[in-house]
Structure 1
Amino acid sequence: MTNNHEQITRILQPVAVIGANGHTGRFVVAELLRRGFKPIAIGRSSVRLAEAGYYERGIECREAAVEDDAALDRALAGAAVVINCAGPFMDTADAVVRAALRAGIHYLDVTAEQPSVQATFERHEVAARDAGVAVIPAMGFYGGLADLLVATVMGEWDHADTIEIHVALDSWLPTKGTRITGEKNTAKRLAVSGGQMQPVHQPPVEKVSVLPAPFGQQTFVELPFSEVPLITRHVRTKELHAFLSKAALGDVRDPSTPPPRAVDETGRSAQRFAVEVVVTQGELRRRIIAQGQDIYAVTAPIICEAAQRILSGDIRDTGAKPPAAIFNADSFLRELDPHLSIETLEV
């Protein structure tokens, strides 16, 4: 139960959301409000912020383009954390991280892009550590969720022989932002093979795995996202491979697939997902599965839980780091109920 002091503390610590008028950004603003925070909605266009209904709901709105350092500095004034939802993150992350560091505030984003994560770690680790702030890229469905699941299922293990991540979606109705990012992100995707980061084998490996209902037997294609550069920052493993269900890949690659359509009052689509992580060490094998609804919507409680823990001081470290290096992964995932259903097995 949240006490009055904690509630007042949250209200006094505004959280800025860049790209607040976008599909994921709207879920994030709504989740911040639900948790008792005061969001600051930031976007390129005051017209689009108005279209999102923020002015009429009394939410503070600020206009800024990421290319304009002075405008970014003004937009972040008074915030304690900035959540960047404005992709493609190859175009936005660096500028927003630099603005966060100038302001001395924490930074989170929701990128699925491997190059963006790698650049954030390489360019900003020292400055973030020196400033005593957390800079966490990929704190969403793609990236952060798998990183937390891996850390949770590994438990006391200090290394793994293999890690496999299987992402099953019963459909993938991509947003406009997803399509733009997909067109621009032409970098070779990386996995870990033989203990080294390597480009994914071409053509990509396919494999079959059986997941709980409603998925059952699924065919997966190797297609790593931002989870790989996150996990490799703090986990030793000989092999790390991530797969996406073949049906979902077909949806997102089909230009005629429509965008998400809301089916409830929260704006969620009917999409169901499952993320399976399997780790091995010698003859031992562990497995954890997370299930839920709508990959864009579930990103909001994940990243807002991160912001809440940072502002309450419930963190292990600062600097530019992956989620599981900053937070207690097991505790973090437990707090995401009922947004995620999680089952852990040792077989």
Structure 2
Amino acid sequence: MSSPNFLLYGANGYTGALIARLAVQRGLRPILAGRNPNKVEPLSIELGLEYRGFTLEDRATVDEALADVAVVLHCAGPFSQTSQPMVAGCLRTKTHYLDITGEVAVFEAIAAQDAEAKAAGVMLLPGVGFDVVPSDCLAAHLKARLPSATWLALGFQAVGRMSRGTATTMVEAQHRGGLVRRGGVLTPVPVAWKTRIIDFGQGALEATTIPWGDVSTAFYSTGILDIEVYAAFPASTRRAMVASRYLSWLLGLPAVQSFQKRLIQNQPPGPTATERAQGRSLLWGEVKDDSGKEVVSRLQGPEGYTLTAMTATAIVEKVLAGQVAVGFQTPSLVYGADFILEIEGVMREDLD
């Protein structure tokens, strides 16, 4: 590899800054980068790190910025707009690619470039944060417990507030409906298509289907053809999700989305340090086979943004140490189902 350092693009964002600070605490020296150098510079001064400002529209500029780094950790969303030019740059410069996306369309677009990545000797590993490391590792663990599994359900309860970036991504996707995987094929379904009772470890809750990234990634990690993902929401949120089925034409209008995004920008960047310390991530998974046999496992760990910083930094360390597999990958395919247990504060339990 060309360099022991990595480039952190989107370092001035809420999650990017968390990752930058944790990386420095762990002895890494990331090169901070973003579209606007004036927004990246203050963090670079605070942490004593090199910084670069460049946009993703110009190929030559991207290639120059990536020429001397071994791996990019891409944290600048919305990834539906930014991942393609960054992946293309990584393929041209033979730079390993990581990101923190949770968007199904992004996972699928990157998976389609598997052959190109193998030809370039590059690993493309999207989803190295809370989307989707813990759930992906849980899915792989469940498949190992029941190798005959043909059906997978995953669920999570995120205890804590979301960042402006996450909220913006949700606004951009709110009119697109839900997704599940049926017979190996991504299949559109209505928003909040199913609701079921799930015990994430702190009592039974109602959870509803969402188009979470594992609808894409768990298929590659486990080979299971039928996949659903659930999330626990308050009743008022579930009602709003159901109502959005009939307002998708309105929610997709540029003027409506712009108005919602302006409201989001008036909110705090994300959870405070105290809120993150008090929050938890609770995950549940279930697999079944055609005979009716089923097994259930659960995970609990730090709050989602804290967990994202921890898993993303841990994976960067592994890549810099040469632990890579070229082509499109998922976290569990490269580092195993037990990788998540290497993260401080994560516990897993198996249920009969």
TM-score under structure 2 normalisation?
0.84
> Does structure 1 conserve the Cα–Cα contact (< 8 Å) formed by 2:164 and 2:267?
no
Deviates most, 301-310 or 198-207: 198-207
**Counterpart for residue 247 of structure 2:** none
Q: Which residue of 2 aligns with 1:88?
A: 78
- Letter of the 1:208 partner, please give it: I
Question: What SS does the corresponding residue of 2:316 show, helix, strand or coil?
Answer: helix
1:261 aligned residue = 271
Counterpart secondary structure, 1:36 = coil
Per-residue deviation, residues 241-282 of structure 1 (Å, max 9, x unmatched)? 101112298399896895433134xx8363322011111233
Greater mean deviation of Cα atoms: 252-261 or 235-244? 252-261
Instruction: Give yes or no for the alignment of 1:236 onto 2:223.
Output: yes
Confirm or deny that 1:117 pairs with 2:107. Answer: yes
Pairing 1:277–2:285 present = yes
Q: What is the aligned residue count? A: 327
Residues 123-178 of structure 1: per-residue CA shift (max 9 Å, x gap): x211111111210111211223211111123226444222111111234x222212
Query: Does residue 25 of structure 2 align to residue 34 of structure 1?
Result: yes
Is 2:318 the partner of 1:309? yes
- Is 1:44 the equivalent of 2:32? no
Query: TM (normalized to structure 1)?
Result: 0.85
Identify if the C-alpha distance between structure 1 residues 274 and 258 changes in structure 2 by more than 3 Å, giving closer, same or farther.
Answer: farther
Partner of 1:100: 90
**In structure 1, how many angstroms separate the alpha carbons of the residues matched to 2:164 and 2:351?**
40
Q: What is the RMSD of the two structures over their aligned residues, measured on CA atoms?
A: 2.7
Q: 2:188 aligns with which of 199, 216, 227?
A: 199
The counterpart of 1:225, out of the listed 209, 212, 226, is: 212
Mapped pair 1:326 → 2:334: yes
**Pairs within 5 Å for 1:161-172:** 161-171=150-160
Residue segments in structure 1 that go unaligned for 5+ positions in a row: 1-8
| Equivalent residue letter for 1:345 | D
Question: Equivalents in 2 of 1:188, 1:261: separation in Å?
Answer: 27
Stretch moving more, 127-136 or 281-290:
281-290
Distance, in Å, in 2 between the alignment partners of 1:159 and 1:92 is 38
Q: Aligned to 1:344, which of 336, 341, 349?
A: 349
Q: Which residue matches 1:3?
A: none
Report the Cα distance in structure 1 between the residues aligned to 2:165 and 2:277, rounded to whole angstroms.
16
For the Cα contact (< 8 Å) 1:200–1:222, is it kept in 2? no
Amino acid at match of 2:97: Y
Letter in 2 for 1:164: A
Q: 1:209 aligns with which of 198, 203, 215?
A: 198
Query: Structure 1 132/46 Cα, relative in aligned 2: closer, same or farther at 3 Å?
Result: same
Asked if structure 2 preserves the Cα contact closer than 8 Å seen for 1:106 and 1:133, the reply is: yes
Q: Secondary structure at the match of 1:138?
A: coil
Higher helix share: 2
